[in-house]
Chains A and B, each alone.
Chain A
């Protein structure tokens, strides 16, 4: 959350945002599944100016062995920003922000991934932010969910995430970088779309109760829209066409 810059107007006189969007519009999102060769599952996501790559390895034996759980798989989630992903070069390696994001993202997936199927193993989820434009933790978790599906890891549901915030006094959906820097609040949220359960939730800024609830509902709606896109991307990836000759069955 940046400071307030009275010089920047985030909404024009018609209520349009600096990128032309309305208050409740999502940025354009593109999803690609199974893009990496070495990973067990992977997904690439573009969300506005965000470029995010997620990969999953596992289930695999736990290293170091003393971290193994005899009843279920252990999840490991690592959110990492590439040095060139932001305007001022970010020094490589985990910083406190990345560590916190990794922790809450892992928690979001903990009950969704059916870890009880794989005792004494671990599942590693890696997300690299190649280009950042606010909302990276939401983009990362959304991509991670697709990568987990691509890896064939059983889950109770996909996980979809989206953020809402407040800019120039108005609650708005899906803030971009400038809006996040100069806006008054940021609220990222992730859900299990089938049940509406909220799995990740944070907020910073100053909001009245009404604004808080408005923001919450807006982020929820955004996440639901994102989950529809995830579903479509997964279904569209495999065309069940017929090759050349007649039908054949195994």
Chain B
């Protein structure tokens, strides 16, 4: 059963060393630091209801190139931390020529304790609509094994690239984009409820 927890709410006894994000220990008890969802039978883990994107190594995100430097680019990744994309000196892979204002997908290569974030594998995105949703709702847009993503793509016909940082790139006919966006916003608002997949399916099928 899903439950809402609030900052300072006790979660149980502390019997593990590595604590998930948003869980802290005081004495021998664990507490939630976040306003979020827990599923107690699934262990101590909080899904925050909101929060800005914090870069995780391996995540694919959608960034906006801010500035070009001789060694690479500064990229906005919709996070309190800005990303740095270095141009590799020797590489077999094609590295695209980028300009400030370009929208790219990039992967988080590494990050350190003071918040420097290194990016890799850029790919330019052109001619679409960039939308932003709460990063905490992105897993729901993917769905189990990408099932929700496939559902939206197949029923509307849009091309969709979903960044873990809350940014989504949609490309297609205007009304297809509108349908897809409507479904995405619906997921964003109802992510904490049960039955979202079916409701979205009905919504998309009804729209057509």
Residues of A near any B CB (own CB < 8 A): 40-41, 58-61, 70, 73, 114, 117-121, 148-158, 192-194, 230-231, 234-235, 238-250
Query: Is B198's CB under 8 angstroms from A248's CB?
Result: yes
Residues from chain B with a CB closer than 8 A to the CB of A193 are: 8
Residue B202, interface by CB 8 Å: yes
A160 CB to nearest B CB, Å? 11
B4 CB to nearest A CB, Å? 5
Interface range on chain B (Cβ under 8 Å from partner): 35 or more
Residues from chain A with a CB closer than 8 A to the CB of B36 are: 152
A238 CB to nearest B CB, Å? 5
Residues from chain A with a CB closer than 8 A to the CB of B33 are: 114, 154-156
Contacts A121-B80, A243-B193; is A150 near B35 (CB within 8 Å)?
Answer: yes
Query: Is A157's CB under 8 angstroms from B7's CB?
Result: yes
* 0 or 1 for each of B171-208: is its CB under 8 Å from A? (1 = yes): 00000000000000000001011111111001000000
Query: Is B50's CB under 8 angstroms from A158's CB?
Result: no
Residue B14, interface by CB 8 Å: no
Query: Is A243's CB under 8 angstroms from B80's CB?
Result: no
Chain B, Cβ-Cβ closest to A248? B197
Question: Contacting B50 at CB < 8 Å: which of A61, A70, A152, A244?
Answer: A152
Residue B164, interface by CB 8 Å: no
Show 12 residue pairs from A and B whose CB-CB distance is below 8 angstroms, ordered by the A residue: A40-B52, A114-B33, A120-B80, A121-B81, A149-B35, A150-B49, A154-B33, A240-B194, A244-B202, A246-B198, A248-B194, A250-B139
Query: Is A156's CB under 8 angstroms from B8's CB?
Result: yes
Question: Contacting A114 at CB < 8 Å: which of B24, B37, B51, B190?
Answer: B24
Task: Give chain B's interface secondary structure class.
Answer: loop
Question: Contacting A247 at CB < 8 Å: which of B34, B195, B202?
Answer: B195
Residues from chain B with a CB closer than 8 A to the CB of A230 are: 6
Query: Is A234's CB under 8 angstroms from B4's CB?
Result: yes
A239 to B193, CA, bound (A): 7
Contacts A119-B113, A119-B115, A245-B199; is A152 near B192 (CB within 8 Å)?
Answer: no
Residue B82, interface by CB 8 Å: yes
A149 to B31, CA, bound (A): 14
Query: Is B8's CB under 8 angstroms from A152's CB?
Result: no
A246 to B24, CA, bound (A): 34
Chain B, Cβ-Cβ closest to A69? B114
Residue B140, interface by CB 8 Å: yes
Residues from chain A with a CB closer than 8 A to the CB of B193 are: 239-243
Residue B22, interface by CB 8 Å: yes
Chain B, Cβ-Cβ closest to A151? B50
Query: Is A240's CB under 8 angstroms from B24's CB?
Result: no
Residues from chain A with a CB closer than 8 A to the CB of B7 are: 148-149, 154-158
* 0 or 1 for each of B90-116: is its CB under 8 Å from A? (1 = yes): 000000000000000000000001110
Residue B127, interface by CB 8 Å: no
New A-B pairs, 10, CB < 8 Å, besides A70-B114, A154-B24, A240-B4: A41-B50, A58-B52, A61-B81, A152-B136, A153-B51, A154-B22, A155-B33, A230-B6, A231-B6, A250-B144
Chain B, Cβ-Cβ closest to A192? B8
Residue B72, interface by CB 8 Å: no
A243 CB to nearest B CB, Å? 4
Query: Is A157's CB under 8 angstroms from B4's CB?
Result: no
* 0 or 1 for each of B131-149: is its CB under 8 Å from A? (1 = yes): 0000010011001100000
